[in-house]
């Protein structure tokens, strides 16, 4: 799959998950604050790895100002009633759904497996690299950034041709 | 008629969301039980009869695949329709879960009406 198609699949996955499961509309693309130089904004960050073809990892950052209202919408309660733990659980679920949606689009012919998402320090989780795709979108209260890094494909050896 | 549903997912947030979506969708829910994995779900089913089960696949402890196997082996529990809710929308995963006994499959993300439609279809609720 080309870089452009992968990027579009990532953006489509982010938009669909936010809209259907979190009742949130992405307002447009945002400068990639998570990988920018300097101090990143306060955020909740989640990382999860996946096995598949290719394997890789997804890291998601939601600025703190956006994470709580997203969690409140998901859980159907007031922002004040959302605990920090619930907020982290919801952001983990958001990362899980975006990753699953993305892999279903780009790895439809293979079986993939998602590891459990885990909360990571935002500053330590800045993903960079040649094989990293980013999607950063503005929300009404902040920014959501997703970085997906893919590794070496684990394709089986081609079968010997009978000659 | 109102129905009794068991939601099996290791994420408390996801269980809360699914329950809320069922209610928002207009599906007639009388009781809703929750379990965090297949083991806990089997414990619930030993104590409570339910009309339908909604289960995740990836869970620590007993995962959704093993849970479906256990349901299929049980003469009483195999009659309860189980619907898988998963982020994995690949055809082979869906086929695999159906072969284990799943009567329905809903991929995340989903709309409330999708979940309602799948619940009503598996329960044989007549369309109005």
Q: pLDDT tens, A39-85? A: 556 889 999 999 988 889 999 999 999 999 999 999 999 999 999 99
**Sign of torsion over alpha carbons A96, B54, B116, B107:** positive
Instruction: Phi first, then psi: give them for residue A51, nearest 5 degrees.
Output: -100, 145
Chain A interface disruption, residue of B10, B11, B13, most A CBs within 10 A: B13
Contacts of B108 in chain A (CB under 8 A): 17, 21, 97, 100-101
pLDDT tens per residue across all 128 residues of chain B: 899 999 999 999 999 999 999 999 999 999 999 999 999 999 999 999 999 999 999 999 999 999 999 999 999 999 999 999 999 888 889 999 999 999 999 999 999 999 999 999 999 887 65
Q: Inspect the interface and report whether the beta carbons of A93 and B110 lie closer than 8 Å.
A: no
Cis (ω within 30 of 0) for the bond into A54?
A: yes
DSSP bridge partners of B6: B33, B53
- What is the distance between the alpha carbons of residues A6 and B6, in angstroms, rounded to a whole number? 37
Angle formed by the axes of helices A64-75 and A3-22, nearest 10°:
50
pLDDT of the residue at A38 = 52
Query: Which one of A19, A90, A110 has the shortest CB-CB distance to B13?
Result: A90
Tell me: the pLDDT tens digits for A109-118?
777 888 989 9
Which residues are B114's β-sheet partners?
Answer: none
If you search the block for the tokens 């329905």, which residue do you land on? B104
Q: What structural domains does chain A harbor? A: 3-32+43-150 (3.40.1550.10)
pLDDT at A34 over 60: no
The CATH architecture of the domain made up of B3-122 is: 3-Layer(aba) Sandwich (3.40)
Q: Taking CB atoms and an 8 Å limit, are A100 and B60 in contact across chains?
A: no
What pLDDT digit, counting tens, does each position of B40-57 carry? 999 999 999 999 999 999
Percent of chain A surpassing pLDDT 70: 80
ipTM score of the complex? 0.86
* All structural domains of chain B with their residue ranges: 3-122
Residue A144 in this model has a pLDDT that exceeds 60: yes
pLDDT (0 to 100) of residue A160:
43
């Amino acid at each position: 799959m080309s870089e452009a198609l992968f990027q579009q699949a990532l953006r489509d996955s982010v938009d669909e998950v936010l809209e259907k499961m979190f009742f949130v509309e992405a307002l447009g693309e945002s400068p990639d604050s998570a990988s920018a130089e300097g101090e990143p904004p306060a955020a909740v960050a989640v990382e999860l790895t996946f096995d598949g073809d290719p394997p890789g990892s997804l890291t998601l950052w939601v600025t703190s100002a956006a994470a709580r209202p997203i969690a409140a919408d998901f859980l159907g309660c007031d922002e004040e009633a959302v605990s920090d733990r619930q907020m982290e659980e919801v952001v983990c679920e958001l990362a899980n759904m975006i990753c699953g949606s993305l892999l279903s689009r780009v790895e439809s012919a293979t079986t993939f497996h998602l590891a459990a998402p885990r909360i990571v320090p935002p500053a330590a989780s800045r993903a960079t690299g040649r094989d990293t795709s980013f999607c950063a979108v503005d929300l009404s209260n902040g920014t959501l950034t997703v970085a997906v890094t893919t590794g070496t494909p684990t394709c089986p050896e081609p079968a010997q041709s009978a000659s | 008629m109102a129905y009794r549903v068991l939601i099996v997912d290791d994420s408390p947030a996801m269980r809360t969301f699914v329950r809320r979506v069922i209610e928002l969708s207009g599906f007639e829910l009388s009781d809703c039980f929750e379990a965090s994995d297949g083991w806990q779900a089997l414990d619930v089913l030993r104590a409570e009869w339910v009309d339908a089960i909604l289960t995740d696949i990836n869970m620590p402890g007993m995962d959704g695949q093993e849970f479906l196997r256990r349901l299929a082996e049980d003469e009483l529990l195999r009659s309860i329709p189980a619907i898988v809710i998963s982020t994995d929308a690949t055809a082979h995963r869906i086929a695999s879960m159906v072969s284990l006994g799943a009567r329905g499959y809903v991929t995340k993300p989903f709309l409330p009406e999708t979940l309602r439609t799948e619940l009503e279809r598996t329960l044989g609720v007549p369309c109005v």
